Structure 1
Amino acid sequence: MAVLAGAVVRPFGLPEATVAVPAAGLVLATGAISLDHARAEAELLGPVVGFLAAVLVLAKLCDDEGLFLACGAWLARTSRGRPQRLLAADFLLASVITAVLSLDATVVLLTPVVFATVARLGARPKPHVYACAHLSNTASLLLPVSNLTNLLAFTASGLSFPRFALLMGPAWTVAVAAEYLVFRRFFADDLKEGTPGRRKAGTGTETGTRGETGAGTGTEPVDMPVFALATVACTLAGFVVASALGVEPAWAAFAGALVLAGRALVRGRTTPLAVARATSLPFLAFVLALGIVVRAVVDNGLSDALGHLVPHSATLPALLGLAVLAAALANLINNLPAVLVLLPLAAPAGPGPILAVLLGVNIGPNLTYAGSLATLLWRRIVHRHAHTVDLGEFTRLGLLTVPATLIPAVAALWVSLSVFGT
């Protein structure tokens, strides 16, 4: 709890690792976890952390190439100044970015672009900004590389990269569609045409939210960074090939990041120090330390306590019960610890229950701020743009979206398992 509190509060702006690393040392020093178990946990998380570092660099370099600036311009053109069209475009763009470049790209890079876009178009920002938070969680179901939790589940499931995407594709589609329908209803007043404060697209001045990416997202045409897009496409293909060859996906992500970094360094658009900073080393240390602390908690009774609650079959009621348990645990202790706790318990029943856990820990965090680190980071970015987030409204929206997305997503997963098998 102290580690999670440190990650949420970040006293004096200190990184998440400030509490987590000493806590990991403490559980080792006191014998709460054996050295062998700590080493095993580090070996399990090592490739995952390496992949995360490579993807963070890849996303940052794509931003430097102008990919997110082009995304903002596309949002403005596609919406034609209409809030409902803008919301649909937000959902499409955020879902694709989350699936391909991970949820961190949506939170850190797309959210400022959305702020700039709604300011230029004079739309009410709330539904569009909330969409970034929710889709960073919900839309991260599709690929093993979309979320840190996915990588852990992918490793435990034994599935290939294409098989994982095949089984999760229907659940991803259903969940995003259900989320969109709830958003349309919940934010109906904010999405009405001619709401006060709106102005026609391309007129007026931007009202003070140029994001960290520097996106001044008007309707003017912006050149699409073809090289960056091609690199991302090749990196995705590399994930598939690496999976077929039994190679860790981190190597494909590293290759993509290396290509973009080499190009940017040669052209003088970045520096080695900037590339190193993009890896977010303190956050990587936090992930490793958190894994060791959670393993200590599991070894000292949590596994036995939850073992009685975890279903050991792949029937629809069992999958639904496991997803609900995972969602509840994610909101109590954060989704990363929740998946670390539940995966060893679900794994003996096969890939189906593992994927059900993934549905719970990815969709469930939309209920509370502390459900995922991505939501906490999104909240800080929103406050940086002088936009308030009401806890009551956030929770009400979560109470509507989580059941509306989780239940049909589990049903879609069950159908996928029944049709395609594992």
Structure 2
Amino acid sequence: MPVVLLLGVLAFAVLRPRGLPEAVAAVPAAVLVVALGMVSPHRAWEQTRTLLPVVVFLALVLMLAYLCAKEGLFEAVGAAVARRCGGSPRRLLTGVFAVACAVTAVLSLDATAVLLTPVVLATASRAGARARPHVYATAHLANSASLLLPVSNLTNLLAFTASGLSFTRFAALMALPWLAAIAVEYAVFRRFFRTDLAEPVSAAPARVGSVSVAPGPSGPTTGPAGPTGPAPAKARGGAPGAGPGVASAPPAPPVPRFTVVVVALTLAGFAVASPAGVDPAWAALGGVLVLGARALARRHVTPREMAGAAAPLFCLFVLALGIVVQGVLAGASATGLGRLLPDGDSLPALLGVAAVAAVLANVVNNLPAVLALLPLAAPAGPAQVLAVLIGVNLGPNLTYVGSLATLLWRRILHRHGIEVELGRFTALGLLTVPATVAASTVALWGALRLVGA
């Protein structure tokens, strides 16, 4: 029964009938799990209390990313990348990789999937290049580039809590796996999209349209004139390509230096807070208060927008999902799952753990997968916890349903009149996922020997 409820909740989250938030299905499922005695009220409360600090941290990071978008940080960076690409689609891809990796690491994968993707569309159009390789890069790097910091992904926050590592040690151990995943992704992208990247840049740049930001049902969403505004015409060929229409390029937006300084100080606060025994959420709160107060004073945002940017219904979904997963773990399925995880921190064991996590993420989505695997991996130490993280972060690039960020990315492209090709997405995933999981796990094994757990 708990497995059926979990699958029902995930199906609802994928399909989202009538645009209803994920919590509409997750909360009743959690109540039913407790009412039927599958999870005791005490255990449900303990699970909620364990997840609550992580969810609060997630909400603060989402607000911080939203405020950065409202201040024009993403558009300014996108314009700078378009200027520096020098008319070369290959250099543009390199720039998109650099920006997407930085945004994902510092402001979370949701910022890349939801806030950066439309900016990349506009940037490719401004440069006169085909957008396909660049927007696919935002989807893949939202997952692959989220290995570095605890704040980069909700799964990271959960693994960070279970590992017992400090913020800086977590980052030190995941730096090599992060670089390995990005290097493999870049090499595959250059080969896979060689035809798109070889095309000459258009004689005159085209614009996809201006990008505005508004909080949506699962957090900030983007699109022309907000989430209900008109979408630009479909890219040529029915696939992500160059933007429609030809127009003169607008003046490059200035880089919001105050916002950059606040984000840098917030990131430094994350690194300092953990060794000092202070919850990193306080650093995130500081960044939100500074940028939020400034944006409110200048009337760039409203209090309602700020509240919506925290994605309260998505946070409620995560809490309810944790209770449903507890019901699954209470059954015999947890014992069977535990038998699949190899023992120890040898390279073959870590590869096995990462592979199990990657497969499970594609079967039930990476969030339930990490909730199910962390209690089984944590007793074996940080090495297995981080191997689980590699699997659940990199594995979802194989299928649409592996990561909620990928689902959000698809919605953003659909809003811009672009439909993602299932065959192309899957073929790209088959080339990248096994290679990135293997390379990152080997890099983790090496980092554990160099840095120590």
Measured against the shorter chain, the TM-score band is over 0.9
Instruction: Give the C-alpha shift of residue 205 in structure 1.
Output: 4.1
Give the one of 262, 266, 271 matched to 1:231: 262
| Map 1:362-401 → 2, pairs under 5 A | 362-401=393-432
Q: Name the structure 2 match of 1:254.
A: 285
Aligned pairs, number: 416
Moved more, 272-281 or 369-378: 272-281
Q: Name the structure 1 match of 2:302.
A: 271
Q: Name the structure 1 match of 2:439.
A: 408
Instruction: Give the C-alpha shift of residue 220 in structure 1.
Output: 3.9
Paired with 1:138 and 1:329, the residues of 2 have a C-alpha distance of 17
SS of aligned partner of 1:308: helix
Contact map agreement 2:167 2:274 (CA 8 A) in 1: yes
Paired with 1:116 and 1:392, the residues of 2 have a C-alpha distance of 25
SS of aligned partner of 1:69: helix
Paired with 1:320 and 1:218, the residues of 2 have a C-alpha distance of 48
* TM score, norm. by length of structure 2: 0.90
- The code of the aligned residue for 2:444 comes to L
| Map 1:11-410 → 2, pairs under 5 A | 11-194=17-200, 198-200=201-203, 203-206=204-207, 208-213=208-213, 218=249, 220-410=251-441
Distance 1:241 1:2, change over 3 A: same
**Superimposed CA distance per residue, residues 16-35 of structure 1 (whole angstroms, 9 cap, x where no aligned partner):** 11101111111011111111
Contact map agreement 1:72 1:218 (CA 8 A) in 2: no
- The code of the aligned residue for 1:55 comes to V
Contact map agreement 1:323 1:357 (CA 8 A) in 2: yes
Paired with 1:264 and 1:307, the residues of 2 have a C-alpha distance of 48
In structure 2, list runs of 5 or more residues that go unmatched.
1-6, 214-222, 225-246
SS of aligned partner of 2:170: helix
Instruction: Give the C-alpha shift of residue 257 in structure 1.
Output: 0.6
Instruction: Give the C-alpha shift of residue 237 in structure 1.
Output: 1.2
Contact map agreement 1:73 1:217 (CA 8 A) in 2: no
* TM score, norm. by length of structure 1: 0.96
**Superimposed CA distance per residue, residues 214-267 of structure 1 (whole angstroms, 9 cap, x where no aligned partner):** 799958433111111111111111111220122222221111111100111122
**Superimposed CA distance per residue, residues 196-217 of structure 1 (whole angstroms, 9 cap, x where no aligned partner):** xx414xx3442x4433447999
Paired with 1:218 and 1:341, the residues of 2 have a C-alpha distance of 49
Contact map agreement 1:73 1:219 (CA 8 A) in 2: no
Contact map agreement 1:82 1:193 (CA 8 A) in 2: no
The root-mean-square deviation of aligned C-alpha atoms, in Å, is 1.5
- The code of the aligned residue for 2:193 comes to F
Paired with 1:331 and 1:212, the residues of 2 have a C-alpha distance of 32
